Chains A and B, each alone.
Chain A
Amino acid sequence: MKRVVLIAGLAFLYLPLLIVAIYSFNASRLVTVWAGFSTRWYGELFADQQILRAAGLSVIVAALSATVATGLGTAAGIALARFGRFKGRLALTGLLAAPLTMPEIVTGVSLLLLFVAMEQAFGFPARGIVTLVIAHATLGLPLVAVIVQARAGAQDRSLEEAAADLGAKPATVFWRIVLPLLMPAVASGWLLAFVLSFDDLVIASFVTGPQATTLPMVVFSAIRLGVSPKINALATLMLAATAVALVLAALLARRDSARQAIAQSTVGVK
């Protein structure tokens, strides 16, 4: 019985995605009639300049925003795990949980209004890549913080104590021992922040400018018009790419504690 529920649950989650992947190799333009195996739609996909440009922009924005999010999120994660019960800890925990539970349209419109006000006051930032990176970094920061906090809290402290006993300064201990041991968690946090940014439609639609169209924005306007084999091909590639990133993140976070943290951070996202 339990096994049946498990299999049914997983089938419910994965079958629809599998069907998209299968039909992306369909020779027919009609999306439900199977007319033999073909990679024709992938060929058309890679000839589509608009999609390629959008994909390029999305990768750049995701890489930059994940990097900013990782820098700030690692600092927050370490502070929460190692600084004891400092003043403002509770407030910081609450503030970190907030962006993740907020509906996207709320975050999107409020960030846009901030960027418009800043542009009026300081002439910066112009809407486009910069505003996309800032918005996505804000989303990714809490995610990285949760993953790093879990790992830093579970870490064996004896190496740090040994280094300190041997006369290493706190800064040396941090850069030579603490941070290298945290690297797998930091790397998987970066990957997940990348995926989060790469996927985002709603917030990006608000904060971007006329010149910067991300991949989800192109996909959204295409699927509003209906189902098409080319979009099946693109969807399949996007699924494959996230699958690779997820496997990497899970391998990096091999330990159960960090795996649970990835799972838990999922709760927070969105």
Chain B
Amino acid sequence: MKLSGRRKLVLAGPWLWLILFFLAPFALVVKISLAQAELGVPPYTPLLDAAGHIQASLANYALLFTDDLYLRAYWGSVRIAALATAFALLLGYPFAYAIARAPASRRSFYLLLAIAPFWTSFLVRIYAWMGLLRPGGLINTTLQSLGLIDAPLKLMNTEAAAVFGIVYAYLPFMVLPLYARLEKLDVSLLEAAADLGATPWRAFRAVTWPWSLPGVWAGCLLVFIPALGEFVIPELLGGPDTLMIGKVMWSEFFTNRDWPLSAAITVVLLVMLVAPIVAFQAAARRNEAA
């Protein structure tokens, strides 16, 4: 469809803004990942030297693939994000199902209740768990006063705490697409299955689960993608032993002030994200079309 001049003007604002402040910066990240760190403002070497020769080097990428700190950090991110996604699905699925099967008049209210924590401060939510998990925290003191344990358990500063924190923080992302799908499930199919003698478990496997799969995929990707680059949760709950690429990138950037290396870390992270993001966009488009 051809757009009138006025309509083109309406679209120009958002287009220009997103191209300038969202797309263009990625080109700069790639460019600076090819530079070297130096003392100065800005703290990286220019791409063209005084004589006009291009000064690009792949040294940062070579470092990423030879120093095993970075490889372990990428692997740590993948492992922790995948574990957290699996647990979020395990917890989020029954929760979304319960909301979707609640009386129709109350569903949107329950849904808002399930989503609302997402809108409360991210830091405050992680902070709440620090108070519960730390050695003198509520969980340990309660278990001790009940006589169940003698010494405080090491709950915080573990990889498990980081996984748990991600599950808690991103649970709304899992619940929402699952709910959207499960709410549209035709209940008469389940009744038919029961009439034909299927156990509830069999009916779930034959009817509910296949129907909910698009929601499962969307939810898993929505948890996995941001979790892969997560910094705050591993920093606050995971402690020094939890290695994730977001933490490494943060310290290269803010502590070592090595901007080019941070840029290279980011480029590799982006490359890892291409496949999940494309999959998510395709899933979203299918859902919109349906």
Contact = CB atoms under 8 A, between A and B. Distances in A.
A223 B118 contact: no
| A interface: dominant SS | helix
A134 B284 CA distance: 27
B153 to A, nearest CB: 15
B138 A19 contact: yes
A161 B112 CA distance: 34
Nearest to B245: A105
A97 B281 CA distance: 8
Given A113-B263, A270-B226, A235 B128 contact: yes
Contacts of A9: 91, 94-95, 98, 114
B14 A92 contact: yes
Contacts of B101: 2
Given A103-B228, A110-B25, A260-B108, A79 B10 contact: yes
A190 to B, nearest CB: 14
B128 A19 contact: yes
B117 A3 contact: no
Contacts of B120: 17, 238-239, 242-243
27 contacts: A5-B95, A6-B99, A10-B114, A23-B131, A32-B141, A71-B13, A76-B13, A79-B11, A90-B285, A98-B277, A101-B280, A103-B225, A105-B266, A110-B26, A113-B263, A116-B42, A138-B21, A170-B6, A192-B119, A201-B232, A205-B254, A231-B127, A243-B120, A245-B119, A250-B112, A263-B115, A264-B176
Interface of B: 1, 3, 6-7, 10-11, 13-15, 17-18, 21-26, 28-29, 32, 42, 91, 94-95, 97-99, 101-102, 108, 110-125, 127-132, 134, 136-138, 141, 168, 171-173, 176-177, 180, 218, 222, 225-226, 228-232, 235-236, 246, 249-250, 253-254, 259, 262-263, 266, 269-270, 273, 277, 280-281, 284-285
Given A9-B114, A75-B14, A79-B10, 19 more contacts: A9-B95, A17-B117, A32-B137, A71-B13, A78-B10, A79-B11, A86-B7, A96-B18, A101-B222, A101-B225, A104-B229, A111-B25, A138-B22, A198-B121, A223-B127, A226-B130, A246-B116, A266-B176, A267-B218
